[in-house]
A and B are shown apart, each in its own frame.
Chain A
Amino acid sequence: MLAYIARRLLYAIPILIGVNLITFALFFIVNTPDDMARMQLGVKRVTPEAIEKWKAERGYDKPLFVNGKASGAAVLTDTIFFTKSARMFVGDFGRAEDGRDITREIASRMGPSLAIALPTFILGLFVTVSFALLLAFFRATYLDFWGVVLCVAMMSISGLFYIIGGQYLISKLWRLVPISGYSAGLDAWKFLILPVAIGVISGIGSSTRWYRTIFLEEIGKDYVRTARAKGLSEITVLFRHVLRNALIPILTGVVVAIPLLFMGSLLTESFFGIPGLGSYTIDAISAQDFAVVRAMVFIGSVLYILGLILTDISYTVVDPRIRFDR
């Protein structure tokens, strides 16, 4: 097992290098630092001196890969690639346009993001699995049919509608909770309850349909027929046999998303004014803060790869038939 995890971690290294190269290519080769400087400074103030000054302040005035003027190891280290891209591997993301340290900013914003994403994830999983189990219990009845119709309809509604509609109805019309904002500590619940509820509701459609097919597939298997032949009640069959077996594909399917919970949700956070990583990313995009976007791309891929590794490990944990020792 340990050897397997170690091997998977080793596999992750070339992928991370690839991601790093892609971001480097996107941010420094497709557009040169000169273009970025012109963009940031605006059309009016662009002079060659201003561009040079902008680049020097941010350390973009170095050569891309090889510094011919330096000597020794500095030939490779005193370059944009090394200072801007390679340093990301050790968690050093440099500074944002406003001069703040990105690494520290990310660390302080992870909490609010998790406060929204984690309850949404757990509650959403519980609600959708229960709903799917209900539909599977009433399979091939009108309840099942209209349940699936409801799911397809809910899938077809834009996520923006759920947020805007929920905010209007709950916060503006009924004045139950504040429209947006955040506070640290226990007071946060009244800011969190609406975004979490909306996050759960907007996810119901597609996940329920997906879990329902998993349940139906499992119900068609031989061991379920055997269980029924033994005289077990339908409830016992569903909860003791079908649910436990169907949870294997469901859980292993959602494990990949767990590390990404740290990133938060772009839309929810910006609509509800939560100071998390999602709204940080949105702000960086609208302010065209390239350093922050680059950092978020890299962190996102690290978390995703972590999720893939966790998925593989979770397979071996929940399903003893799967072995990776070969």
Chain B
Amino acid sequence: MTFTLVLPVLLWSDMLVWLLVLAGFVLGALSWRNLPLRAAWRRVGRSRPGMASATVLVVFVLIGLLDSLHYRPRLENRDPSQPAAYAIEVLSVLDAMASPLRARNEKTYSEPLATRAYAKESIEVREADGRVSTTRDFPRLKFGGAHLGESEEKRDADVLKRVLAAEALALIVVVLASLGGACLLAHRQGVSARQAWSSLWKGETEFAWNAVLVTLGVLLLAWLPVLALCVDYHVFGTDKVGQDVFYQILKSVRTALVIGLVTTLVTLPVAIMLGILAGYFRGWVDDVIQYLYTTLSSIPGVLLIAAAVLMMQVIIDTHPQWFATAAERADLRLLALCFILGLTSWTGLCRLLRGETLKLRELEYIQAAQAFGVADLRILLRHILPNLMHIVIIALVMDFSGLVLAEAVLSYIGIGVDPTMISFGTMINNARMELAREPMVWWSLISTFAFMFALVLAANLLADAMRDAFDPRLAGAS
């Protein structure tokens, strides 16, 4: 008999997500040791739009990471002599934290913050004399505003009270955080706290602390009220099957991050290796590699993805015995999609790296190394690869936003993630038909697009800041 409450589950995509975190740290440490790259990171840190968007992205990444720790909860077991049994359902830490959102399902659509459903239904009303009559009315929601009981008219006052309390808390946290930041800065630079405070807000610090603090403040002011409300209301409404839209959006974040980041991670080794080999060895190696990527890139991306996904579907459908749970199948399908997207996107990076290697190998220091008889492998690893890192880093951030947008389109066409997996694409696809309803169901579509916009805009702004900092041609200009 065991006393463990949960059975940890490691999905394949979880593994890649955590591998990605590790790779991020390794890449960060390596580029910190390289002086030009460290200078570039410092330039990124000075960029205010860059740091503001990085703050937003960190929040998204934290949500995604919480959603990447999966487990199966233990079932209630009355008989202590039996071995512990675990639920077949795979949950994540995020699910556990958001369990009020996940479990409180209504019957169908309801508006944001509503206490009653969106469409009229026949309700049985027991009259005072015991007769039962049916009327058509908007039924009361099971969970939305349930704590109000019968007094639904108090909803506005309740919402206002919660929002004000949350805003007050947010303000206190922001002020404390900036005071703490100023004190820390004063301590590290050996100046008075007052000086540190003024230099912090004038933007005279090495790192754009003011942008981070302002963004943090805006995020707290916007989201603490939502968190305060979401325990008892459906802040963004519910969808057709009554699931909370806010919960679905939180779950979509991980899918978007996996698509945007894992895809690049799986293509990076291939693109780097082939690009360097083609550029460095030239001759027939170059010919073969060029032929390979020209052929692959001459197939229009969407069509190649469509063909590959169709084939993957056939494999999945004809081999149901490979997947123990539905979550596992959806997960492997997500990974397969990443690999397929990678198949079409490595060619661009490979071509860039080949061109840069061609240029580098003609430089004196490489020729000197060759003259000294340094082995080719050592030249590639020590002298060429570090000098290509800026291209790799720029490509990584530039691809991200495009991939997140592509996921939505592909899921709409029906060649994206598994229909059971919550993602921005599947949410848009489900919400699309609701616009034709009378009266219109607008909330799920609008909130999905808004969150996707926030994620992609932050990624685009960070990508711009990083490109400006890492591209040697642009670095001198700014």
Residues in chain A within 8 A of chain B (CB atoms): 14-15, 18-19, 22-23, 26-27, 30-31, 35-36, 38-39, 152-153, 155-161, 164, 168, 172, 260, 263, 266-267, 270, 281-282, 285-286, 288, 290, 293-294, 296-297, 300-301, 304-305, 308
Contact = CB atoms under 8 A, between A and B. Distances in A.
B453 A297 contact: no
Given A15-B291, A39-B318, A26 B308 contact: yes
The residue among A260, A270, A296 with the most chain B CB atoms within 10 A of its own CB is A296
B222 interface: no
A267 B303 contact: no
Contacts of B405: 158-159
B314 A164 contact: no
Contacts of A297: 299-300, 303-304, 307
Contacts of B298: 15, 19, 301, 304-305, 308
Contacts of A260: 300
B167 to A, nearest CB: 27
Contacts, number: 119
Contacts of A294: 307
Given A18-B295, A267-B409, A281-B303, A26 B311 contact: yes
A288 B409 CA distance: 18
B306 A300 contact: no
Contacts of B401: 155-156
B150 interface: no
Given A156-B457, A164-B435, A35 B314 contact: yes
Interface of B: 291, 294-296, 298-300, 302-304, 306-308, 310-311, 313-315, 317-318, 401, 405, 408-409, 412-415, 424, 428, 432, 435-436, 445, 449, 452-453, 456-457, 459-461, 464
Contacts of B415: 285
Nearest to B445: A164
Could you tell me the dominant secondary structure of chain A's interface residues?
helix
7 contacts: A15-B298, A22-B299, A152-B464, A263-B300, A293-B306, A297-B300, A304-B300
A36 B314 CA distance: 7
A19 B295 contact: yes
Contacts of A285: 306, 310, 413-415
Q: Lowest 3 CB-CB distances: which A-B pairs, in order? A: A18-B295, A156-B457, A300-B300
B435 A27 contact: no
Contacts of B460: 152, 155-156
Given A15-B291, A282-B413, 17 more contacts: A14-B291, A15-B298, A19-B299, A39-B317, A152-B460, A156-B401, A156-B457, A158-B405, A158-B449, A159-B409, A161-B449, A164-B445, A172-B436, A285-B310, A288-B310, A304-B298, A305-B298
Contacts of A160: 408-409, 412, 428
B287 to A, nearest CB: 11
Contacts of A305: 298
Contacts of B428: 158, 160, 164
B73 to A, nearest CB: 33
Given A266-B413, A282-B413, A31 B315 contact: yes
